[in-house]
A = this chain, B = another copy of it.
Amino acid sequence: MEMIEKIVLLGAGNVAAHLGSALQLAGYNIVQVYSKRLATAEVLAQKLGCAFTCRMEALTPEADLYVIAVTDDAIAEVSACFPFRDKLLVHTSGTTPLNVLQAGSDQTGVLYPLQTFSRDVPVDFSKIPLCLEALRSADRDKLEALARSLSNTVTWIPSDQRRILHVAAVFGCNFVNHMYAMAAGILEENGLAFDLLRPLIEETARKAMKGDPRDMQTGPARRHNKNIMEEHRKMLSANPEYRKMYTFISESIQKAYHQ
Protein backbone atom coordinates (compact mmCIF):
# COMPACT_ATOMS: atom_id res chain seq x y z
CA MET A 1 0.00 0.00 0.00
CA GLU A 2 1.19 3.48 -0.92
CA MET A 3 1.38 5.54 2.26
CA ILE A 4 0.70 9.22 2.80
CA GLU A 5 3.89 11.16 3.49
CA LYS A 6 3.57 14.73 2.24
CA ILE A 7 0.55 16.84 3.16
CA VAL A 8 -0.75 20.28 2.14
CA LEU A 9 -3.10 22.20 4.46
CA LEU A 10 -5.80 24.24 2.74
CA GLY A 11 -6.79 26.56 5.54
CA ALA A 12 -4.89 28.12 8.44
CA GLY A 13 -7.40 28.44 11.29
CA ASN A 14 -7.72 26.53 14.58
CA VAL A 15 -8.43 23.13 13.03
CA ALA A 16 -5.61 23.46 10.49
CA ALA A 17 -3.18 24.56 13.19
CA HIS A 18 -4.02 21.77 15.66
CA LEU A 19 -4.26 19.08 12.97
CA GLY A 20 -1.06 20.29 11.30
CA SER A 21 0.87 20.10 14.56
CA ALA A 22 -0.51 16.63 15.31
CA LEU A 23 0.37 15.37 11.82
CA GLN A 24 3.88 16.75 12.14
CA LEU A 25 4.29 15.12 15.54
CA ALA A 26 3.18 11.81 14.01
CA GLY A 27 5.98 12.11 11.45
CA TYR A 28 4.17 13.48 8.42
CA ASN A 29 5.71 16.14 6.26
CA ILE A 30 3.58 19.29 5.98
CA VAL A 31 4.92 20.80 2.77
CA GLN A 32 2.66 23.83 2.24
CA VAL A 33 -0.08 25.92 3.83
CA TYR A 34 -2.67 27.69 1.72
CA SER A 35 -4.94 30.46 2.95
CA LYS A 36 -6.95 33.07 1.08
CA ARG A 37 -5.11 35.62 3.20
CA LEU A 38 -1.35 35.43 2.76
CA ALA A 39 -0.55 36.75 6.23
CA THR A 40 -2.70 34.02 7.84
CA ALA A 41 -1.02 31.32 5.75
CA GLU A 42 2.38 32.70 6.72
CA VAL A 43 1.73 32.56 10.47
CA LEU A 44 0.86 28.86 10.41
CA ALA A 45 3.55 28.02 7.83
CA GLN A 46 6.20 29.59 10.05
CA LYS A 47 4.95 27.57 13.01
CA LEU A 48 5.15 24.38 10.96
CA GLY A 49 8.29 25.37 9.07
CA CYS A 50 6.93 24.97 5.53
CA ALA A 51 6.02 26.90 2.38
CA PHE A 52 2.83 28.96 2.09
CA THR A 53 0.68 30.59 -0.56
CA CYS A 54 -2.57 32.48 -1.06
CA ARG A 55 -3.03 31.32 -4.66
CA MET A 56 -4.52 27.92 -5.50
CA GLU A 57 -2.61 27.93 -8.80
CA ALA A 58 0.59 27.91 -6.75
CA LEU A 59 -0.27 24.70 -4.87
CA THR A 60 2.50 22.14 -5.05
CA PRO A 61 1.56 18.93 -6.92
CA GLU A 62 4.12 17.04 -4.81
CA ALA A 63 1.85 16.07 -1.90
CA ASP A 64 -0.03 12.79 -1.23
CA LEU A 65 -2.88 14.41 0.66
CA TYR A 66 -4.60 17.81 0.58
CA VAL A 67 -6.60 18.68 3.70
CA ILE A 68 -9.29 21.37 3.48
CA ALA A 69 -9.72 22.92 6.95
CA VAL A 70 -11.79 26.04 6.37
CA THR A 71 -15.26 27.11 7.55
CA ASP A 72 -18.10 25.02 6.14
CA ASP A 73 -19.32 27.80 3.87
CA ALA A 74 -15.94 28.02 2.13
CA ILE A 75 -15.35 24.31 1.48
CA ALA A 76 -17.20 24.21 -1.86
CA GLU A 77 -15.28 27.23 -3.13
CA VAL A 78 -11.87 25.89 -2.12
CA SER A 79 -12.75 22.53 -3.63
CA ALA A 80 -13.88 24.10 -6.91
CA CYS A 81 -10.53 25.87 -7.27
CA PHE A 82 -8.45 22.79 -6.37
CA PRO A 83 -6.25 22.16 -9.44
CA PHE A 84 -5.49 18.40 -9.27
CA ARG A 85 -8.07 15.77 -10.22
CA ASP A 86 -5.76 12.85 -9.30
CA LYS A 87 -4.87 13.86 -5.76
CA LEU A 88 -6.54 12.74 -2.53
CA LEU A 89 -8.57 15.68 -1.23
CA VAL A 90 -10.31 15.54 2.17
CA HIS A 91 -12.19 18.01 4.31
CA THR A 92 -12.50 18.10 8.10
CA SER A 93 -16.10 19.16 8.55
CA GLY A 94 -18.82 17.45 10.54
CA THR A 95 -21.70 18.88 8.56
CA THR A 96 -20.54 19.22 4.93
CA PRO A 97 -21.23 16.06 2.88
CA LEU A 98 -18.44 14.25 1.05
CA ASN A 99 -19.85 14.97 -2.42
CA VAL A 100 -19.12 18.70 -2.09
CA LEU A 101 -15.52 17.75 -2.89
CA GLN A 102 -16.44 16.14 -6.24
CA ALA A 103 -15.92 19.49 -7.95
CA GLY A 104 -12.24 19.35 -6.96
CA SER A 105 -10.95 15.81 -7.33
CA ASP A 106 -11.99 12.27 -8.17
CA GLN A 107 -10.25 11.05 -5.00
CA THR A 108 -12.12 12.46 -2.05
CA GLY A 109 -12.61 11.78 1.63
CA VAL A 110 -13.39 13.19 5.05
CA LEU A 111 -11.28 13.33 8.21
CA TYR A 112 -13.53 14.82 10.88
CA PRO A 113 -11.94 15.29 14.32
CA LEU A 114 -14.82 15.29 16.81
CA GLN A 115 -13.34 17.88 19.14
CA THR A 116 -13.44 21.58 19.98
CA PHE A 117 -10.31 23.54 19.14
CA SER A 118 -9.40 26.85 20.72
CA ARG A 119 -6.37 28.88 19.87
CA ASP A 120 -3.48 28.22 22.26
CA VAL A 121 -5.22 25.38 24.14
CA PRO A 122 -3.19 22.25 23.32
CA VAL A 123 -5.16 19.05 22.73
CA ASP A 124 -4.18 15.38 22.93
CA PHE A 125 -5.09 14.04 19.47
CA SER A 126 -4.80 10.42 20.60
CA LYS A 127 -8.10 10.85 22.49
CA ILE A 128 -10.01 12.56 19.68
CA PRO A 129 -12.46 10.36 17.76
CA LEU A 130 -11.60 10.68 14.05
CA CYS A 131 -14.58 10.07 11.75
CA LEU A 132 -13.56 8.95 8.27
CA GLU A 133 -15.25 8.69 4.90
CA ALA A 134 -13.76 7.96 1.45
CA LEU A 135 -15.29 7.86 -2.01
CA ARG A 136 -12.97 5.18 -3.41
CA SER A 137 -12.20 2.02 -1.48
CA ALA A 138 -8.59 2.38 -2.71
CA ASP A 139 -8.21 5.43 -0.43
CA ARG A 140 -9.68 3.80 2.66
CA ASP A 141 -6.52 2.04 3.84
CA LYS A 142 -4.36 5.13 3.36
CA LEU A 143 -6.75 7.35 5.30
CA GLU A 144 -7.23 4.81 8.05
CA ALA A 145 -3.47 4.33 8.49
CA LEU A 146 -3.04 8.08 8.79
CA ALA A 147 -5.95 8.42 11.25
CA ARG A 148 -4.68 5.54 13.41
CA SER A 149 -1.28 7.17 13.68
CA LEU A 150 -3.02 10.20 15.20
CA SER A 151 -5.79 8.77 17.36
CA ASN A 152 -6.88 5.68 19.28
CA THR A 153 -10.48 6.11 18.14
CA VAL A 154 -10.99 5.85 14.38
CA THR A 155 -14.43 5.19 12.96
CA TRP A 156 -15.95 5.10 9.45
CA ILE A 157 -19.15 7.12 9.30
CA PRO A 158 -21.09 8.16 6.17
CA SER A 159 -22.02 11.82 5.57
CA ASP A 160 -25.62 11.60 6.82
CA GLN A 161 -24.53 9.99 10.11
CA ARG A 162 -21.61 12.38 10.48
CA ARG A 163 -23.86 15.41 10.44
CA ILE A 164 -26.03 13.83 13.15
CA LEU A 165 -22.87 13.45 15.20
CA HIS A 166 -22.07 17.09 14.57
CA VAL A 167 -25.46 18.36 15.68
CA ALA A 168 -25.21 16.20 18.83
CA ALA A 169 -21.79 17.76 19.41
CA VAL A 170 -23.37 21.24 19.22
CA PHE A 171 -25.59 20.25 22.16
CA GLY A 172 -22.84 18.42 24.09
CA CYS A 173 -20.16 21.07 23.59
CA ASN A 174 -21.29 24.47 22.24
CA PHE A 175 -24.57 24.62 24.18
CA VAL A 176 -22.91 23.23 27.30
CA ASN A 177 -20.27 25.95 27.12
CA HIS A 178 -22.98 28.58 26.74
CA MET A 179 -24.50 27.30 30.00
CA TYR A 180 -21.07 27.63 31.64
CA ALA A 181 -20.83 31.16 30.20
CA MET A 182 -24.26 32.16 31.56
CA ALA A 183 -23.34 30.76 34.98
CA ALA A 184 -20.12 32.79 34.86
CA GLY A 185 -22.11 35.90 33.95
CA ILE A 186 -24.62 35.43 36.79
CA LEU A 187 -21.80 34.98 39.32
CA GLU A 188 -19.80 37.92 38.01
CA GLU A 189 -22.81 40.26 38.16
CA ASN A 190 -23.16 39.35 41.83
CA GLY A 191 -19.51 39.60 42.80
CA LEU A 192 -19.02 35.83 43.15
CA ALA A 193 -16.08 33.84 41.74
CA PHE A 194 -16.57 31.30 38.94
CA ASP A 195 -14.01 29.17 40.80
CA LEU A 196 -16.67 28.11 43.28
CA LEU A 197 -18.59 26.40 40.47
CA ARG A 198 -15.67 24.56 38.87
CA PRO A 199 -15.78 21.41 41.06
CA LEU A 200 -19.48 21.05 40.22
CA ILE A 201 -18.81 21.46 36.49
CA GLU A 202 -16.06 18.86 36.68
CA GLU A 203 -18.22 16.39 38.56
CA THR A 204 -21.16 16.85 36.16
CA ALA A 205 -18.91 16.00 33.21
CA ARG A 206 -17.30 13.13 35.13
CA LYS A 207 -20.69 11.53 35.68
CA ALA A 208 -21.43 11.74 31.95
CA MET A 209 -18.19 9.84 31.30
CA LYS A 210 -19.55 6.88 33.23
CA GLY A 211 -23.24 6.63 32.58
CA ASP A 212 -26.24 7.80 30.58
CA PRO A 213 -26.81 11.49 31.40
CA ARG A 214 -30.55 10.88 31.30
CA ASP A 215 -30.15 8.81 34.48
CA MET A 216 -28.11 11.56 36.15
CA GLN A 217 -30.41 14.58 35.84
CA THR A 218 -30.81 16.50 39.10
CA GLY A 219 -32.07 19.95 40.12
CA PRO A 220 -35.32 21.84 40.76
CA ALA A 221 -36.82 21.16 37.30
CA ARG A 222 -36.09 17.43 37.53
CA ARG A 223 -37.77 17.40 40.95
CA HIS A 224 -40.65 19.49 39.56
CA ASN A 225 -40.04 21.93 42.42
CA LYS A 226 -42.20 24.84 41.28
CA ASN A 227 -41.49 27.05 44.31
CA ILE A 228 -37.74 27.05 43.76
CA MET A 229 -38.11 27.58 40.02
CA GLU A 230 -40.42 30.54 40.63
CA GLU A 231 -37.95 32.01 43.10
CA HIS A 232 -35.05 31.52 40.67
CA ARG A 233 -36.99 33.24 37.90
CA LYS A 234 -37.63 36.20 40.19
CA MET A 235 -33.93 36.40 41.09
CA LEU A 236 -33.05 36.49 37.40
CA SER A 237 -35.61 39.12 36.46
CA ALA A 238 -32.95 41.85 36.24
CA ASN A 239 -31.55 40.06 33.18
CA PRO A 240 -34.29 38.85 30.80
CA GLU A 241 -31.81 36.73 28.83
CA TYR A 242 -30.98 34.61 31.89
CA ARG A 243 -34.62 34.42 32.96
CA LYS A 244 -35.89 33.32 29.54
CA MET A 245 -33.18 30.65 29.32
CA TYR A 246 -33.99 29.43 32.83
CA THR A 247 -37.68 29.10 31.98
CA PHE A 248 -37.10 27.46 28.61
CA ILE A 249 -34.69 24.77 29.76
CA SER A 250 -36.56 24.10 33.00
CA GLU A 251 -39.74 23.45 30.99
CA SER A 252 -37.83 21.14 28.67
CA ILE A 253 -36.47 19.16 31.64
CA GLN A 254 -39.91 18.89 33.22
CA LYS A 255 -41.32 17.63 29.92
CA ALA A 256 -38.52 15.06 29.56
CA TYR A 257 -39.00 13.70 33.07
CA HIS A 258 -42.71 13.39 33.73
CA GLN A 259 -43.73 13.54 37.34
Contacts and interface: CB of A to CB of B under 8 A. Distances in A.
Interface residues of A, number: 91
A114 interface: yes
Contact of A155 (B161, B180, B196, B217): B196
A116 B208 contact: no
Copies per complex of this chain: 2
Nearest to A199: B127
A236 B166 CA distance: 12
A200 B242 CA distance: 25
A185 interface: yes
A163 interface: yes
Contact of A183 (B171, B180, B196, B253): B171
A170 B246 contact: yes
A2 interface: no
A39 to B, nearest CB: 20
Contacts of A192: 161, 164-165, 168
A114 B197 CA distance: 7
B167 A236 contact: yes
A221 B181 CA distance: 14
A218 to B, nearest CB: 5
A136 interface: no
Interface in A195-218: 196-205, 207-214, 216-218
B181 A169 contact: no
Contacts of A209: 198, 201-202
A163 B246 CA distance: 15
A4 B95 CA distance: 59
Contacts of A187: 164-165, 168
B207 A121 contact: yes
A235 B118 contact: no
A156 B3 CA distance: 62
Interface of A: 71-73, 95, 114-118, 121, 123, 127-129, 131, 153, 155, 161, 163-187, 190-192, 194, 196-205, 207-214, 216-223, 225, 227-228, 231-232, 235-236, 241-242, 244-246, 248-249, 252-253, 255-256
22 contacts: A95-B231, A114-B200, A116-B219, A118-B218, A129-B196, A129-B199, A153-B199, A163-B235, A167-B186, A168-B183, A168-B197, A170-B221, A170-B246, A171-B245, A173-B204, A174-B217, A176-B176, A184-B214, A201-B205, A201-B209, A241-B252, A245-B248
